[in-house]
Structure 1
Amino acid sequence: MTTLTLVSSHLCPYVQRAAIALAEKGEPFERIYVDTADKPDWFKAISPLGKVPLLKVGDAVIFESAVILEYLEDTVAPKLHPVDPLTRADHRAWIEFGSTILNDIGGLYNAPDERSFNAKCAVLSKRFAWIEKRLKADPWFDGSSFSLVDAVFGPIFRYFDVFDGFTDLGIFADKPKVSRWRAALSTRPSVRGAVQPDYPERLRQFIAKRNSHLSTLLAAKAAA
């Protein structure tokens, strides 16, 4: 059996996608963590873009999370994509939508002042309004079968689980279906196990160093 190794960082949501997919498929894998702020030479030698995740398949290396997920779909059962081509295309589109939301979250925690922060919150609220409109079943994105879309959104909602500890963004207040989906994902073993127990503290430390409006809110909560 070929050994799979997931090269990871502690906070990267794209790494978490791959870890969730591997767990859902029941595929054994090793996990190696690297400090992306101080990348070791061996990592730079095998990562063309200098980013995680990487999936080592024996001596081969696959980079980019979308490609890793597709490789796992091609090689490891059970399938997490729908069988129907049109539905599968729809799921792939919502995975890309999830990547857009991750970029918006990056803009949120880097927003330097309250005005730009509120603008980012408004963008995120509109993004999730599209999700609220799309969700038609439960408990997962398309009903009873956990899919790669679920694997993508588990790490997205995890950010807000931490943010909720020190600020009320109000993004999900009028979105009951999204809130239900978020709650279901938070209890899924594969989603919970995709990060280490110290993830919330690591994320808070990361935010504290951003010199942003969100880091100001975090500091104010800590001082209260």
Structure 2
Amino acid sequence: MIEVQTLISHTLCPYVQRAAIVLSEKSIPFDRIYIDLANKPDWFQKASPLGKVPLLKTEEGHYLFESAPIVEYLDETQPGKLHPEGPVERARHRAYVEFASQILNGIGSLYNAKHEQDFESAKEALRAKFCHLEDQIDLRGPFFAGGSFSLVDAAFAPVFRYFDVLDDFVDLKVLDSLKKTGKWRRHLAERPSVMAAVAGTYQDDLKVFLRRRDSWLSRLLNRFESTAPATA
């Protein structure tokens, strides 16, 4: 019998989503404890030396921190491997998990940019990364490496989820004409583990977060909402 795991979470964290997706893909039951990162409880600060989520509480009561070692631990200890068997391909997959993290940093630069010029520069940098990614996706699909879901897929699903929200109010054009990337994105969005990785309030919560950034993207969101027709 698989023990219920505990995932220490934040509602918007993409790295928490990675861990939640892998737990679901492995059919591991888990509970969530949500943390207010602006008001961290004492026990959390002791368990998380970097002060970040996710944390995974193991059956032995240990806390694992950082999403990469958490998902690697799950992949090593639970059946249904999500990493390739070959060492070269496995190393390549680890590299693209890190590449997903760098894209998340780029998204952070996008929503924190105070001025239009910085916003446009962040868009161009993201576009360049996705153009590189387009050439790495297996043509056979529907996943990054073809027919098998991997840890790379778990890392990129939260990346694409940002664009699902941003597309509501701004035409970034970051993913335009990237056909393999678009197909991969759509397929991941329909994956049950990906859908279940966030609460139903995710889109609204993210928009609240973006409004509070006082950034160029915040202004675009506010402008869109001020001109959008009222709904009954």
TM-score for both structures, normalised by structure 1: 0.98
Kindly state the Cα deviation for residue 46 of structure 1 after the two structures are TM-superposed: 1.3
Kindly state the Cα deviation for residue 40 of structure 1 after the two structures are TM-superposed: 1.5
Kindly state the Cα deviation for residue 2 of structure 1 after the two structures are TM-superposed: 4.2
Q: 2:109 aligns with which of 107, 110, 113?
A: 107
Are the equivalent residues in 2 in contact too, given 1:186–1:192 (CA < 8 A)? yes
Q: What value does the CA root-mean-square deviation take over the aligned residues?
A: 0.9
Aligned to 1:82: 84
Aligned to 1:139: 142
| Aligned length in residues | 224
Aligned to 1:15: 16
Equivalent-residue separation in structure 2 for 1:74 and 1:94 (angstroms): 19
TM-score for both structures, normalised by structure 2: 0.95
1:51-200 paired onto structure 2 within 5 Å: 51-58=52-59, 59-136=61-138, 137-200=140-203
Work out whether 1:220 is the aligned partner of 2:220.
Answer: no
SS in 1 for 2:135: helix
Deviation per residue, 1:170-198 (Å, 9 max, x gap): 01112111011111111000001000000
Equivalent-residue separation in structure 1 for 2:73 and 2:180 (angstroms): 31
Q: Structure 1, unaligned stretches of length 5 or more?
A: none
Deviation per residue, 1:93-128 (Å, 9 max, x gap): 111111100000000000001110000000000000
Are the equivalent residues in 2 in contact too, given 1:3–1:57 (CA < 8 A)? no
Percent identity among equivalent residues? 51
Deviation per residue, 1:104-156 (Å, 9 max, x gap): 00000000011100000000000000111111231000111000000000000
Give 4+ residue runs of structure 1 displaced > 3 Å after superposition. Answer: none
Q: Structure 2, unaligned stretches of length 5 or more?
A: 228-232
Equivalent-residue separation in structure 1 for 2:166 and 2:4 (angstroms): 36
